[in-house]
């Protein structure tokens, strides 16, 4: 069975075709600038030359048609006909209070995705467009929605409720949802297996450190707490997002600048985080290069990033009453030995010990960093959200 995985953004569409026999990626690619001048499809078939075309894509429906043409192309394709595709798995950002797990798309599921447009204004509309584009391009095939918020639905009220009047939860669904759920779910379950932990009781902290960053605590793969909130703005310092800040900062800046609340939130989402603190970049490769040249703002920014991260690790270690493992994943977590080393140095007082040689060698692969006598296991486990979506899709059909 082959599963097509789609991740639609407002003007982009990422895809992977996965053969579930051996979970190999047959082809992957990206449509960019959908609905804008200069639309482009980049198609990367396994074992064949990559191929790029610039052609108008007025909407996601056309993008899906082009993806299908690329997948079936006699030269660059990997399948003979769309009959070979068993189902389509879609990444969907927000499922609101109602949806707690992945589900086959029905009219009701589409209604829920639509009702959550205000909770995920950039992503949910695009996700729904992607689903409807597949329904039109491949009638009769099952579509499965895999929600970024599902993992966080495992939390108890004491973790997900904000201490604000009930009305806002009851009427508007204001609560902690958590995002990167597909990644936290995948990596925490991989950690239970890879680190030989009790599948029911293993206590894992996952640090998903990409451009966006979040951390979760789970027991037996069930989420106990996670750092992102109603939106992905809360929690860790990220590439361009501030993470935690006194909510009154919003009112204060809005009044001082004579802005709207949206203007201020735009700054907190897009012009803050490591970009603002370092004055260099939101990308850790640039930041590390600047640190090595003695740039003091870059060094302070990195120190602040690690400070926030270990603050959360400390809190989650307490909530879990002692974690069995701390796992690093996503761009920075998988490829950033400096951040990993700085974090683990803080944890030495708990008896955490890592092998620095292993740490320096660990780039994008599964590896245990801790020494056998470390009190908490430390590991790098690459995330694979597409595979997680494909596995859920296969399970549901």
> Could you list the active site residues?
148
**Would you say 11 or 100 has its CB closer to ligand ADP?**
11
Range in contact with ligand ADP (rule: CB under 6 A) among 249-257, 283-291, 344-352, 354-362: 283-291
CA 194 to chain centroid, in Å, comes to: 21
218-257 mask for ligand ADP (x: CB under 6 A)? ---------------------x------------------
Does residue 358 interact with ligand ADP by CB under 6 A? no
Residues 6+ apart with CB under 8 A from 225: 155, 159, 216, 217, 316, 319
CB of 281 to ligand ADP, least distance (A): 8
Cβ atoms of 40 and 52 closer than 8 Å: yes
Verify binding: residue 210, ligand ADP, rule CB under 6 A.
yes
- Dihedral in degrees, nearest 10, Cα atoms 375, 380, 386, 392: -20
Output 181 or 212, the one with its CB closest to ligand ADP: 212
The helix (H) or strand (E) run that includes residue 145 is strand 142-147
Give yes or no for a contact between 316 and 205, defined as CB atoms under 8 angstroms apart: yes
CB of 66 to ligand ADP, least distance (A): 23
Instruction: Give me 209's structure tokens.
Output: 């450190």
Question: Measuring CA to CA, which residue among 62, 340, 37 is closest to residue 209?
Answer: 340
Q: Is 179 in the site for ligand ADP (CB under 6 A)?
A: no
Q: How far is Cα 184 from Cα 331, in angstroms, rounded to an integer?
A: 14
Pick one of 96, 202, 212, 243: the residue that binds ligand ADP (CB under 6 A).
212
26 near 41, Cβ under 8 Å? no
Per CB under 6 A, the list member of 70, 330, 352, 369 interacting with ligand ADP is 330
Verify binding: residue 277, ligand ADP, rule CB under 6 A.
no
- Yes or no: say if 143 and 134 are a contact pair by the CB < 8 Å rule: yes
Size, binding site for ligand ADP by CB under 6 A: 12
Options 32-40, 85-93, 104-112, 331-339: segment touching ligand ADP (CB under 6 A)? 331-339
Provide DSSP, 237-299. --SS---S--THHHHHHHHHHT--HHHHHHHHHHS-HHHHHHSS-SSHHHHHHHHHTT-HHHH
Residue from the set 185, 331, 388, 393 that interacts with ligand ADP by CB under 6 A: 331
Q: Is 186 in the site for ligand ADP (CB under 6 A)?
A: no
- Rule CB under 6 A: say whether 211 interacts with ligand ADP: yes
- Residue 30 near residue 386 (C-beta atoms within 8 A): no
212 or 243: CB nearest ligand ADP: 212
Smaller CB separation from ligand ADP, 174 or 390: 390
Which residues of this protein are in contact with ligand ADP, per CB under 6 A?
210-212, 239, 283-285, 330-332, 335-336
């Amino acid at each position: 069975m082959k599963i097509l995985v789609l991740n639609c953004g407002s003007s982009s569409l990422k895809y992977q075709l996965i053969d579930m026999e051996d979970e190999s990626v047959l082809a992957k690619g990206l449509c960019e600038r959908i609905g804008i001048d200069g639309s482009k499809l980049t198609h990367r078939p396994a074992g064949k030359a990559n191929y790029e075309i610039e052609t108008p894509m007025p909407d996601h429906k056309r993008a899906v048609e082009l993806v299908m043409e690329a997948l079936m192309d006699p030269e660059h394709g990997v399948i003979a006909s769309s009959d070979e595709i068993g189902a389509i798995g879609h990444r969907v950002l927000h499922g609101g209070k109602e949806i707690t797990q992945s589900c086959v798309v029905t009219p009701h599921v589409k209604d829920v995705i639509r009702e959550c447009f205000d909770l995920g204004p950039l992503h949910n509309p695009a996700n729904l467009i992607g689903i409807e584009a597949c329904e039109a391009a491949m009638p009769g095939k099952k579509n499965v929605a895999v929600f970024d918020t599902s993992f966080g639905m495992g939390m108890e009220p004491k973790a997900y409720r904000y201490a604000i009047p009930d009305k806002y939860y009851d009427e508007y669904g204001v609560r902690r949802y958590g995002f990167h759920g597909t990644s936290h779910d995948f990596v925490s379950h991989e950690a239970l297996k890879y680190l030989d932990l009790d599948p029911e009781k293993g206590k894992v902290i996952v640090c998903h450190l990409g451009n966006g960053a979040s951390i979760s605590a789970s027991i037996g793969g069930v989420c106990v707490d996670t750092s992102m909130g109603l939106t992905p703005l809360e929690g860790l310092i990220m590439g361009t997002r501030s993470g935690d800040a006194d909510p009154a900062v919003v009112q204060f800046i809005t009044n001082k600048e004579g802005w709207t609340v949206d203007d201020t939130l735009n700054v907190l989402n897009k012009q803050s985080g490591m970009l603002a603190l370092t004055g260099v970049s939101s990308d850790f490769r640039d930041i590390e290069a600047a640190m090595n040249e003695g740039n003091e703002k870059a060094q302070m920014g990195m120190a602040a990033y690690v400070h926030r991260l270990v603050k959360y690790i400390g809190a989650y270690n307490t909530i879990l009453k002692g974690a069995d493992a701390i796992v690093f994943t996503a761009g920075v977590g998988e490829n950033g030995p400096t951040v990993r080393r700085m974090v683990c140095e803080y944890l030495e007082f708990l008896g955490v010990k890592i092998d620095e040689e292993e740490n320096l060698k660990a780039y994008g692969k599964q590896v245990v960093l801790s020494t056998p006598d470390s009190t908490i296991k430390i590991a790098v486990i690459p995330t694979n959200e597409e595979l997680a979506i494909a596995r859920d899709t296969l399970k549901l059909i």
